[in-house]
């Protein structure tokens, strides 16, 4: 799937939605590891960006996004509209990240 056809909007300029295939999602659940938590604790003493957690968050979002795209492709979609992320703490140190949207088939106008 062309990632240029994945958008938070509900329309794509120059394209017409010809079929709505329904809601799609990608879910991943991650926990912090002990070593990253210790390293991040040291980074908080200095201040600024806590890179260990930033990298963990980025990996988690990327994984959820890729799972969502795969789900859309399995339905035969060539685009996703209304794309969003959501995150919830499942338990202390364990977070669920959800990527979701609507799988559609679009045609160039």
Res. 22 pLDDT band, cuts 50 70 90: very high
Full domain range(s) for residue 12: 3-30+63-108
Distance CA 44, CA 59 (A): 21
Give the pLDDT confidence score for residue 35 in this predicted structure: 52
CB 1 within 8 A of CB 78: yes
For residue 19, give the CATH number of its domain.
3.30.110.70
Domain assignment present for 95: yes
Query: Could you tell me which of 3, 11, 8 has the C-alpha nearest to residue 101?
Result: 8
Tokens of 59: 């990996």
- Token output for 65: 């996004």
Q: What pLDDT score does 27 carry?
A: 96
Q: Is residue 48 part of a domain?
A: no
User: For the segment 35-61, what is each residue's pLDDT rounded down to a tens digit?
Assistant: 555 555 555 555 556 677 778 889 999
């Amino acid at each position: 799937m062309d990632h240029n056809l994945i958008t938070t909007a509900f329309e794509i300029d120059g394209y017409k939605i010809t079929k709505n295939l329904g809601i799609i999602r990608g879910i991943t659940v991650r926990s912090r590891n002990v070593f990253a938590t210790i390293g991040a604790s040291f980074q908080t003493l200095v201040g600024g960006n806590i890179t260990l957690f930033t990298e963990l968050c980025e990996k988690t979002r990327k994984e959820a996004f890729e799972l969502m795209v795969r789900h859309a492709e399995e339905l035969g979609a060539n685009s996703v509209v209304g794309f969003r992320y959501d995150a919830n703490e499942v338990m202390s140190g364990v977070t669920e990240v959800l990527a979701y949207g609507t799988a559609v088939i679009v045609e160039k106008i």
